Structure formats: C-alpha cells, structure tokens
Amino acid sequence: MLDTLHTLEVVRRRGFVSRWVLGAVLVAVVGWLACTVAASPNLEWTVVGQYFFSTPVVAGVGVTLVLTFATLGIGLVLGACLAMMMQSRNPVLSAAASGYVWFFRGVPLVVQIVFWFNLSLLFPTVGFTPTNQLITPFLAALLGLGLHEAAYLAEIIRGGFLAVPRGQVDAALTIGMTRSVATRMIVLPQSIRVILPALGNQFILILKGTSLVSVIGGGDLMTRAQQIYGQNYQVIALLLVATGWYLVLVTVAGVGQRFLERWAVS
C-alpha cells in the first residue's frame, strides 16, 4: 500500500460547513436589521433620494473636502515643524513643542472649534478689524481642526523619525551636513514609509472630524443636513444622506491610501 500512496490526490481541509453556517447567520441577522430599518414607515426613502444630490448637500460635501485637505495641509506642515522641534537638542524648542502637543491633543476638538468661533468675546478687535469679521465660521473651523490635527500628526511624524536608524544621521553628519539638514534630507524622506499607514488612518479621522464644525454652522456636509432637517423634520433621512456621503468619501480615501502605500514601498 505504501508504494501507491504517493499517487493519491491530496485534499486540503477547508472547513466548509462552519463557513456556510456562520455566513448564513450573519446574513440573516444583518438582513433582518436592514429590512426592519428600510421598511420602517417613518423612513422616507424618497426624501433620501431627493436630497442626496441636492445643491446644498453637494456644496456641503465640497466644504467637507476643502476642510479635510486644508486641515491635512496645516497639520502636516505644522506637525513636521513640531516633530523636528521635539527632536531638537535645544530644551526650549523641545519643551515648547511638547507643550503644544500636550495642550492641543488634550482639549476636545469641539471645544477648540467653539473657542475660535467665539474669539471675539476675548479679543473684540484684531488690529483695527473687528474679530467677528475676520473669524468666519469657515476660518474658525479651519483653525480648530488644523491646530488640533497638528498635535496628532506631530506625534505620528516623530514616531517615523524614531524608526530611522541612528547610523543614517551619523553618515549624514560625516559628509558635513548639519543636524537640521540631515533631518530634512535623510530622516524625513525615510520616515515616510512608516508615517504613511498611520497618516491614511488620520486622514479618515479628519474627514469625519470635520462634521464637528456643524456646531458653529461651518457649512460642511453635516451642517447642511442639519439645516435641511431643521426645516422639514426628516432627521433620519438626512442623517442617511450624510452617512452615505461619508461612507463614499472614506471608501475613496481607503483606496487612495492603498495606492499611496504601494507607491511608497516601491
């Protein structure tokens, strides 16, 4: 028997039964939930369809995107500066950067947004301009989001710096670079590979975090949804409109992240 054994077909264990059972249970539970919600007489699907591509909602999506990218831009530039300051041998610089991160990471985002919006209560004028004229809801939103995000991105970038082997800096110094040039030319580019996955995650957090600016009427997707359901009382329908858009944007961001990571590795 042993001399024919090697001719037999090999069948790998698949565990089909447990997969089918588990899958069926999952489909049943999720399907039942979805049907219950969808079939609810209080949910007007026509309203969802009516508003999904309406002018105010699409404009809100635009504002959400602008806020997201502007926040990312501010956060990256400021965060990179903060990360370099934290690495500095100058104790004043590193303490200042650590203090910034401690404060802006410690105060809730919504508190910061409301604070910037109400800056005029603290400083009625900036120079000769009334603060209320200067700080629009959009600018208050941008300040709140950008300064808050810089603190998180600073920590992510610092983590990336730490992942670059010390010898790289030694080598840069021995060819006559100063520490700060070495950080920009050698450490920063090499840390991108480590930073990128965390950055993609952070981008999605920012994207959804922009919805908090609705508390000051920032004009984003969530603000528009609130304004509409404030008039027609179709709260759930408009929350579904917002949900749909956020999921679309997050999905696109997730695909973009995969592409970026593949590019960075190659």
- Choose which of 10, 17, 38, 175 interacts with another protein (CB under 8 A): 175
> Nearer Cβ to another protein, position 187 or 237?
187
Let me know: does 119 contact 142? Beta carbons within 8 Å. Answer: no
Alpha-carbon gap, residue 49 to 238, rounded angstroms: 10
Q: Is 181 a residue that touches another protein (CB under 8 A)? A: yes
Give the helix, strand, coil percentages of the chain, each rounded to 5.
Answer: 85, 0, 15
Let me know: does 102 contact 152? Beta carbons within 8 Å. Answer: no
Q: Is 260 a residue that touches another protein (CB under 8 A)? A: no
Q: Is 186 a residue that touches another protein (CB under 8 A)? A: yes
> Nearer Cβ to another protein, position 12 or 89?
89
- Binders of another protein among residues 188 to 247 (CB under 8 A) are 189-190
- Binders of another protein among residues 15 to 44 (CB under 8 A) are none
Q: Is 185 a residue that touches another protein (CB under 8 A)? A: yes
Closest separation in Å from C-beta 88 to another protein: 11
Q: Is 172 a residue that touches another protein (CB under 8 A)? A: yes
Residues β-bridged to residue 125: 130
Q: Is 91 a residue that touches another protein (CB under 8 A)? A: no
Instruction: Give the DSSP per-residue string, 153-180.
Output: HHHHHHHHHHTS-HHHHHHHHHTT--HH
Residue 191 has, within 13 A of its CA and on its CB side, a CA count of 29
Q: Is 165 a residue that touches another protein (CB under 8 A)? A: yes
What residues line the site for another protein (CB under 8 A)? Answer: 165, 167-168, 170-179, 181, 185-186, 189-190
